[in-house]
Structure 1
């Protein structure tokens, strides 16, 4: 199956993308799966729980996160990718903004590149243009270290939509076909609490771009700050936002709590038959 066909065929129903952070400083599970064996054990559990895609991240993008060197990120991500591809039959996404990490990931069988910087870093467009792998373009205002200091928009939906239109155009001009693109509005990446919930409520407004939408709200501060819940107490909020996103046209739901999200989406799908 070609990667382009993968998008058209596999996104007919919402896909659950399980988050696997192999970083010591991730906001939610920092250090928990940073060792190789623990990460592989977690992959087996995620597959058992019903994940459709595993999203591996070797650099934290939480607010205030420090940069990781290319060498360190490659060492965290590539051996794990190779092992997963050898041991399991599961689609793997690599969450990175570095061209060399993207290149090595594609060589070793990555099914999706997930870039919080939407291929704006040096060399990234060229790497993807020389492949046929789908890529997720995320919107972020500012950079992880400072993005939450004072985010401002004229109109949050329209501004993000214009960003996507521009990035789609740049990708197409670089030789990346439109049908390979996935869009992520970037919940929590340079947005206030109110802007995040407006974005969630109006997610279907991106439908007219004609591309799959990825939604990632799992355990984020938009849940914690609204409910006054610590990061390990955000399950109900994470599932609720996942359901709302699915109802508003999201094709991929990126989550930490796979089993619970899969259960919730099964109930949503069952009831949708009778609407």
Structure 2
């Protein structure tokens, strides 16, 4: 059984405390964009986005990740448009729940206003492309997710090449940790994401999943954002709407290899998968014991 050597396993994020030496957090995904890669605008309307957030909480999500701009190459989303998309949803969710709220953004101004509205995590998928983002997080109590990606925001990166993908991703992430710490973000408020599919082809994402321990060995809680990614679709020859089972498999393998947060679309199935995996590897007790525990078999 592999347990990642976490430097600071117990983390308080907003109103919630996680012991990542014994617990896997499930992060739900809510995208308030008209062109998100998976839900294709299903939660773009404000009311639908808010409802999706509260539904995720009711289904057992520990965390809700709210995004207002897709990662995929395309025209930049103006900062004010991104703010208008995410901040009202953050405020509405915070008013009714103590769940961890992260905002998927690389803009420091979006981060600042989201934190003011109640966000407790900034999830930067661009590895600090905005030099002002880390200082904004440092000036708050929020946690920062540092993600490996190579391209400038919303630009293409054709034919990515790695000589040793796990080693190169680890080196990149440690460099970003150094930058964040230098800006004032303490280590106990840093999480690392190797960035499945982000400037990586399917073979590279599969290898990164197999070798995820090398990222977890860095000592920070590792986030695996594997849900419905293209590497699952290409592996299984599955369209976006048929990647759920493959996503659960990838999440479980990631947990076994050290991930302590999984970013998932299907919250109910993901919570069950995480809790079952925790029990199998000996991190939690079953909810109850009855089968073959008495004189009569039930």
What TM-score do you get using the length of structure 1 for normalisation? 0.94
Partner SS, residue 66 of structure 2:
strand
Q: 1:263 matched to which residue of 2? A: 272
Q: Which moved more, 1:233-242 or 1:81-90?
A: 81-90
Aligned-pair CA distance for 1:209: 1.4
Matched, 1:176 2:199: no
Aligned-pair CA distance for 1:226: 1.1
Q: 2:113 matched to which residue of 1? A: 104
Whether the aligned pair in 2 keeps the contact of 1:148 and 1:192 (CA below 8 Å) is no
Which stretches in structure 2 are left out of the alignment for 5+ residues? 1-10, 284-298
Which stretches in structure 1 are left out of the alignment for 5+ residues? none
Whether the aligned pair in 2 keeps the contact of 1:144 and 1:189 (CA below 8 Å) is no
Matched, 1:67 2:67: no
* Aligned counterparts, 1:130-169, within 5 A: 130-143=139-152, 145-169=154-178
Instruction: Tell me which of 211, 219, 227 is aligned to 2:236.
Output: 227
Alignment deviations for residues 138-179 of structure 1 (CA, whole Å, 9 cap, x no partner) = 000224644452101121111111111111111111111112
Aligned-pair CA distance for 1:68: 0.6
Distance 1:53 1:210 in 2: 21
> What RMSD in Å do the two structures reach over aligned CA positions?
2.0
Instruction: Tell me which of 52, 55, 72 is aligned to 1:42.
Output: 52
Q: 2:103 matched to which residue of 1? A: 94
Q: 1:54 matched to which residue of 2? A: 64
Distance 2:109 2:43 in 1: 23
Q: How many pairs align?
A: 274
Distance 2:233 2:271 in 1: 22
Moved over 6 A (4+): none
Distance 1:170 1:90, change over 3 A: same
Q: 1:29 matched to which residue of 2? A: 39
